[in-house]
Each structure stands twice: as C-alpha cells, then as structure tokens.
Amino acid sequence: MADVQNYRIYINGEWTGESLEPIEVTNPATGEVIATVPRGGRSEAEQAVQAAYDAFKSWSSKTAGERSELLMKWSRLIDEHKEEIGELMTREQGKPLKEAIGEVDYANGFVSWYAEEAKRVYGETIPASHPNKRILVQKQPVGVVAAITPWNFPAAMITRKIGPALAAGCTAVVKPAEQTPLTALKLAELAEEAGIPKGVLNVITGKSREIGEAWQKDSRVRKLTFTGSTEVGKILMKGAADTVKKISLELGGHAPFIVMDDADLDKAVQNVVASKFRNAGQTCICTNRVYVHESIVEPFTEKLTAAVEKLKVGNGLEEGTDIGPLINEEAIEKVQEHIEDATQKGGKLATGGKRIDSGQGTFFEPTVLTDVSDDMLCMNEETFGPLMPVTTFKDEAEVIQRANNTPYGLAAYVFTENIGRAIRISEGLEYGIVGLNDGLPSVPQAPFGGFKESGLGREGGHYGIEEFLEVKYVSIAL
Ligand code: ADP
C-alpha cells in the first residue's frame, strides 16, 4: 500500500478533481490497490464538454498540417515512454508486459497514421446539371466528441478514437473504464507535453452512468463513440437519439474460427492459440468457437492441447508470462459458469478447467473443451476468458450457417489452403472482419468494426476519420 498514487483528471488543460471521492485502482495480479482516481460525475462531465466546446473553434481552424505536427509530437512522446506506459498498463490491467508494450505500439499507430491522414481529408466537386451552377463538397469536423472506452485495451481503444477525432479537427472528452484509468491519464499527460492545446483533449474518471447520461443529453456533444458491451452500447444508442448525435459503437463479438480439412494445421493451431489467449481471452475479436472439419479433429486437438499446455500463466510483469490474470472476480465466475454448463451438457476438458489458486490474483488455466454442442452457453455468449470450445462440422454450407447463427458479427477466422473455398467462405460470413489464415487482423490502417449487434461504424484507416466528419455541400449559382 505504500506507494499508492493519487491521480487527477484532466479538464481544460488543468489537473483537477483532488477534492472528489477516490476510486481505487487494483492490480489484478496481486489484488493490491496501486492508485486512486477521482470519482467525477455530472459536473465534471459538463465542465469537460464546455472546455472541448470552447476549444473547438481554434482547433478546427488550424491547418491540417498544424494538427498533424502536434499529433506527431504526441506520437513521438508515446514512443519514448512506451516501456513506462506498458508497465503501468500491466499493473492496472494484467496483460503480459510484452503484450502491453505491443499494445502501446499499436495504439500509437493510430496517432501517427491519423497525423498523416489529417492532410488527406479531401472534398469533391461534382459536375452540375445546370450550366450556371457549381457543386462543391467539403468535409468539416463534427464538433465535440465523447469517447467511452473499456478496460481490455486501455491505450488502443482511446487512440483509435482520439487519433482520428483530433486529426479531423474535433475536440474530445474521454471516459476510460474505471478498472484502467491510469494509462488514459498518462496519454493525456503526454498530449499536454506535446503542446496539444487546453480543452482539445479532456479525460475524466468516475461514475460511468452519470457521465454517460450527461454526455448523451448534451447537444454540444455531436458524436458519441463507444467500445464496450452490447448492453451498454444499446443504452448509449437510445440516449444519443434525443439530440441525434452521430454514433459509433464497437460492441461484443462471438468469433468463429473455422479449420477446413485442407488447412495447414500447424498454422491454424498457432493462430487459434494467439487469437484465443491474447489478453487472457479478453478481447472482442477473440476466438469464441472453434469449428474443425470432422476428418482432422483428432490431430488438430492433439496439437492444440500440446500448444496450450506450454502457455505460462502468471504476473504479467514476470519474464516469460504468456497469460496474465483476468480483470476481476466476475470474469473468473463467468468462465467457471461456461465450463460447468458445457461439462453438464457433455463437453470434455482436454486441458485446463480450473482457477489457479495462488492465494492472490485472478488467474485461470488456459482451457480447451471438446465434444461441444451448439446449445452450450460458451457457444452463444462471450466468455471473455481463456476458454476454447472445439466442435466439428461436415461441410462448408453447414459451417457457414452455424458460424452466422449469432446476433454478433465482429470477427471470424477461416483456415484453408483452397482459394475457392477461402473466397466462398469469407464472402458467406456475416462479419465485419475476416481473418483468412490470419488470427491477428487488427492494424491501424484497416477498417475495424462489426455487422449486426457488434456495432456501427468503423475505426481505423481512411474509414475511421469519416466518422468524425460532416459532409457539407455548397451549391454555387454563378
Ligand atoms: P465491459 O463489460 O467491457 O466492462 P462495459 O460496456 O460495461 O463493458 O464498459 C465499457 C465502458 O462503458 C466503461 O468505460 C464503463 O465504465 C462504461 N459504462 C458502463 N455502463 C455505462 C453506462 N450506463 N453509461 C455510460 N457508460 C457506461
């Protein structure tokens, strides 16, 4: 408890909130309180919007080159501090340090990519049908952006929103998840150091529902961008309706991972392990269901079990750790519930299945279940933990139908060496992202987002900046 640091929130270029009640931030690997952050509410939410609103005029009037230069400075500072940010992230979130530093690089990719993209917000002229008219199309920033982010990627979920928002000329108010606010506050500190003007980026912590409601109701907030559960996404979507805000939602997923009989088995195993166990299975594009062609299920499961048994679970700060703790006790309970349900319905444990009782922290064994059927909870609900259910299929049409039989549509994976099949299956999948022989598809330059109840809008690439731009058509009569 000795070095618990009391953090402050960042509004209008000031570090404030010291008089607010503290929220404790704990290290999931040890259960220790490592810091506190202020429990902000409506008042802080409104102050932050006011600051962002006031800053919008001058920020949006800067040239794209000026905004780009400041974002590049921020990016350079993030790069210089990546070990420090990575360590902070591991302490508040749990993921292994190498993954945390990898996330900082990925997160920073959005800042540098959009610093470049700021200069490419092109408009258009359209040939008019009338000889004395000209049609000019301009893109303009939407205004104040509110961003609400989850705990599983404490840096990347912020920069994926704030990089394009600031590049487009918007200003922003951000509320990170209560479990992982420290990475967010560190990013804000570096933005300040980079010279991003006061009010352009504001980061507050606190009562999520109250802050969310204040931002939903505020007509000065013109865009709401959220990553998190489908349940909260629906609440925000309804709330945004009253003031007809633009909205982007990146919600839950239930990714199928399909292994055809002609797949390269070693490649498929290596990728499914990376896809499933990265961040201890706590990502929205994590594999949730593995469909293996019935003719290869035995060699596949054998190789898979051997690979999973090599994974080392432990404190993310320790060298050689592959899987850190889960975020909290509820996360452990959910994995246990899914395993109990599956084993009661005939599922068999190939490896794992239990909590690791080390006396501290929320660790769970990486688990593989076989003899799985489609009625099990784990085949329908996001486990958000290190549990991999494996089932079999007979043919292409069947597996596409079963893979699509979910309200979600974020990521899906297909492993095959047959090009015709690869194209047929990827076209048949109702998913926003398809990893074709690729278990790790997330990159800053590609559009990330889901079909169906997995969300609205896209983050990343040139698609991502469009979400923060309005289209203005100027009709000119000569
Ligand atoms: P998760 O299951 O990943 O924690 P949530 O959707 O609960 O997903 O949380 C994602 C983010 O949404 C967090 O920052 C959380 O504080 C915030 N949040 C949760 N409930 C609400 C709400 N009712 N209104 C606004 N934000 C919310």
Bridge partner residues of 343 (DSSP): none
Distance 106 CA to ligand 1 centre (A): 23
- At 84-111, the pLDDT tens digits run 999 999 999 999 999 999 999 999 999 9
Percent over 90 (pLDDT), the chain: 99
Q: Ligand 1, atom 19: nearest CA belongs to which residue?
A: 208
CATH number at residue 329: 3.40.309.10
pLDDT of 2 above 60? no
For residues 15 and 48, membership in a common domain is answered with: yes
Instruction: Read off the pLDDT of residues 146-182 as tens digits, 9 standing for 90 and up.
Output: 999 999 999 999 999 999 999 999 999 999 999 999 9
Strands 14-16 and 9-11: antiparallel
443 belongs to a structural domain: no
Which letter does DSSP use for residue 201 in this model?
E
Residue 466 near residue 476 (C-beta atoms within 8 A) = no
Same domain? 197 vs 267: no
Please choose, from the candidates 297, 285, 286, 253, the residue with its C-alpha nearest in 3D space to the C-alpha of residue 391.
Answer: 297
Q: Which residues, 6 or more positions from 418, have their beta carbon under 8 angstroms from its beta carbon?
A: 260, 262
Q: Same domain, yes or no, for 336 and 205? A: no
CA 209 to ligand 1 centroid distance, Å: 8
For atom 18 of ligand 1, the residue with the nearest CA is: 208
Q: Where are the beta strands (DSSP E) in 208-260?
A: 221-227, 246-250, 255-259
Residue of 39, 148, 284 to test ligand 1 pocket, by largest number of atoms within 8 Å of CB: 148
- 185, 259: one domain: no
The answer to whether residue 42 sits within a structural domain is yes
- Split at pLDDT 50, 70, 90, the class of 359 is confident
Percent of the chain with pLDDT over 70: 100
Question: Which band of pLDDT confidence, cut at 50, 70 and 90, is reported for residue 357?
Answer: confident
388 occurs within a structural domain: yes
Q: Which atom of ligand 1 is nearest to the CA of 151?
A: 3
Q: Are 257 and 236 in contact (CB under 8 A)?
A: no
pLDDT given at position 368: 98
What pLDDT shows up at residue 477? 98
Q: What is the pLDDT of residue 193?
A: 98
**What does the pLDDT read at residue 277?**
98
Q: Could you tell me the CATH number of the domain that includes residue 217?
A: 3.40.605.10
The DSSP secondary structure of 175-196, one letter per residue, reads E--TTSHHHHHHHHHHHHHHTP
Phi/psi at 140 (5° precision): -130, 150
With bands split at pLDDT 50, 70 and 90, how would you rate the model's confidence at 66? Answer: very high
Q: Which atom of ligand 1 is nearest to the CA of 150?
A: 10
Report the separation in Å between the CA atom of 229 and the middle of ligand 1, taken as the mean of its atom positions: 7
| 119: number of Cβ within 10 Å | 13
Q: Does residue 1 have a pLDDT over 60?
A: no
Average pLDDT over residues 50-71: 98
Assigned domain for 239 exists = yes
Query: What are the residues whose beta carbons fall under 8 Å from the beta carbon of 134, sequence distance 6 or more?
Result: 125, 128, 475, 476, 478
Residue 469, both tokens: 């731009």
User: Is beta strand 22-26 parallel, antiparallel or unpaired with respect to 33-38?
Assistant: antiparallel
Contact 185, 134 (CB under 8 A): no
Distance CA 277, CA 295 (A): 25
pLDDT at 22: 98
Question: Judging by beta carbons within 10 Å of its beta carbon (0-12, 13-18, 19+), is residue 239 exposed, middle or buried?
Answer: middle
Q: Are residues 351 and 403 in the same domain?
A: yes
CA 205 to chain centre: 18
Q: Which of 410, 395, 157 is nearest to 289 (CA)?
A: 410
In a domain, 448, yes or no: no
How many whole angstroms from 110 Cα to the centroid of ligand 1? 22
Give φ, ψ of 291 to 5 degrees. Answer: -110, 115
DSSP 395: S
Claim: this prediction has a pTM higher than 0.80: yes
Phi, psi values for residue 80, rounded to 5°? -65, -30
Residue 342 is part of which domain span?
255-436
Identify the helix (H) or strand (E) that includes residue 38. strand 33-38
Q: Residue 426's pLDDT is what?
A: 98
- Closest ligand 1 atom, CA of 233? 6
Give ligand 1 pocket residues (Cβ under 6 A): 148-150, 175, 177-178, 208-209, 212, 228-229, 232, 235
Say if residue 224 is in the same domain as residue 330. no
34 and 72 share one domain = yes
The per-residue pLDDT for range 317-339, each reduced to its tens digit, is 999 999 999 999 999 999 999 99
Q: Count of domains in the chain?
A: 2
Q: For residue 20, is pLDDT > 90?
A: yes
pLDDT at 430: 98
Residue 362: inside a domain: yes
Q: Mean pLDDT over residues 1-5, rounded?
A: 74
Asked if pLDDT for residue 142 goes beyond 90, the answer is yes
Residue-level pLDDT at 358: 79
Q: Please answer whether residues 145 and 221 qualify as being in contact, where contact means their C-beta atoms are separated by less than 8 angstroms.
A: yes
3-state secondary structure (DSSP) of residue 56: helix
Q: Please give the distance of CA 15 from its chain centroid, rounded to a whole number.
A: 26
Query: How long is the chain?
Result: 478
pLDDT score, position 3: 82
Out of 173, 204, 208, mutate this one to test ligand 1's pocket (max ligand atoms within 8 Å of CB): namely: 208
> Is residue 364 scored above 80 in pLDDT?
yes
Same-domain check for residues 353 and 241: no
Residues 127 and 155 placed together within one structural domain of the fold: yes
Same domain, 245 and 362: no
| Consecutive H or E run containing 62 | none
Q: Do 102 and 137 share a structural domain? A: yes
| pLDDT interval class at 388 (50, 70, 90) | very high
* Strand-strand pairing, 287-293 and 255-259: parallel
- Give me the mean pLDDT over the 408-436 stretch: 98
Residues 127 and 54 in one domain: yes
**The pLDDT of residue 470 is above 70:** yes
Residues noted as catalytic: 250, 284
Which secondary-structure segment (H or E) carries 45? helix 42-61
Does the residue 334 lie in any domain?
yes
Q: How far is the CA of 205 from the centre of ligand 1 (A)?
A: 12
Q: Residues of 57-69 as b/e, b for ≥16 C-beta within 10 angstroms?
A: eebbebebeebbb
Give a yes or no: residue 449 inside a domain. Answer: no
Looking at every residue in the chain, the average pLDDT score rounds to 97
User: Which letter does DSSP use for residue 468 in this model?
Assistant: T
